[in-house]
Structure 1
């Protein structure tokens, strides 16, 4: 039986890596459904992820494709795994505080408690190390999310430090170990 993965993409320069992640997950035989925040669409087009996943990309919690189906609820029910990659500081904060103001956060809140949930942060080192972000990360862990920790690297902003999205091989290993 094919496993369904909800890949949530938030606004980070690392969003372009969601294309390769989507492609690899699809090649492994997973049914990948991509959810995007508005900010993510500034970094990568939904069409790219739609072509690679062979599924519609979900952008707006208020737009339903079928009036008989509440999209974010149905997606949450079908998910064998939820992964937020990249996970921006903003989306981590929204999840940690229960906001449901976009497709990613509304779907995450609708997930059954037993559904495995992963997040892979990607942001500037100072943002990642900020006590507020660290508190939000701990909150997510306390409610059952598993962090795939960022790498130390030269970041897009020119800083060197922890905050780069984990290597895709690492993310794929974690996904396969769960599924």
Structure 2
């Protein structure tokens, strides 16, 4: 029986925690996943394409109108995936997802995707605890999204609080817990 490689769409939002996404991408590749990275424009201010392409073995995608995908990036990139992981899932991305917005490629991918979604939030403590963000999280949970974190600890804004993105090993563990038990179940 042939083993099917699991395909993961890794969406990286524009927050300082994007640096951890490189380690997450590497850990997923080492675990045998085929990883396709997509980033927001803001994410490119925190982490470069060369790093992510080297770790995933594939070009990073940013644009919904990328000519490599004649049917549309959102359609072709979600075909055959086993899960979508968003790390860091910024307050902006959580809002877009919860409200069905498709203002960029990642929002469009989220709406096109029919496979499990794992969100790894990262933001400041006040943002995480804001009622609007908490409403969006409740909506996304109702919609079937899975969450890992955020954690308590030292934040990039130089204070301790809740909003730290979970460690890549913990995100990988959470991903493995939401995938179907065999690759044939994802077809």
How far did residue 79 of structure 1 move? 1.1
Output the aligned Cα RMSD. 1.0
How far did residue 63 of structure 1 move? 2.2
Change (3 A) 1:89 1:66: closer
Counterparts of 1:110-125 in structure 2, within 5 Å, are 110-112=112-114, 115-125=115-125
Q: Which residue of 2 aligns with 1:166?
A: 166
Counterparts of 1:14-25 in structure 2, within 5 Å, are 14-25=17-28
Q: Which residue of 1 aligns with 2:182?
A: none
- Aligned with 1:78: secondary structure? coil
Q: Which residue of 2 aligns with 1:140?
A: 140
Name the TM-score, length of structure 2 as normaliser.
Answer: 0.91
Whether 2:55 is the aligned partner of 1:35: answer: no
Counterparts of 1:45-56 in structure 2, within 5 Å, are 45-56=48-59
CA–CA distance in structure 2, aligned partners of residues 146 and 66 of structure 1: 28
CA–CA distance in structure 1, aligned partners of residues 170 and 31 of structure 2: 15
Structure 1: gaps (5+ residues): none
Structure 2: gaps (5+ residues): 180-187
CA–CA distance in structure 2, aligned partners of residues 148 and 174 of structure 1: 7
Whether the aligned pair in 1 keeps the contact of 2:69 and 2:76 (CA below 8 Å) is: no
Aligned residue among 60, 74, 77 for 1:75: 77
How far did residue 116 of structure 1 move? 0.8
Whether 2:9 is the aligned partner of 1:3: answer: no
Q: How many residues end up aligned between the 2 structures?
A: 176
1:115-167 CA distance string (max 9 Å, x none): 11110100000000000000011111111101112110110101211000012
Change (3 A) 1:35 1:98: same
- Aligned with 1:17: secondary structure? helix
How far did residue 64 of structure 1 move? 2.6
1:21-73 CA distance string (max 9 Å, x none): 00010001100000100110110011210110001111011223143x32211
CA–CA distance in structure 2, aligned partners of residues 161 and 137 of structure 1: 18
Deviation >3 Å, runs of 4+: none
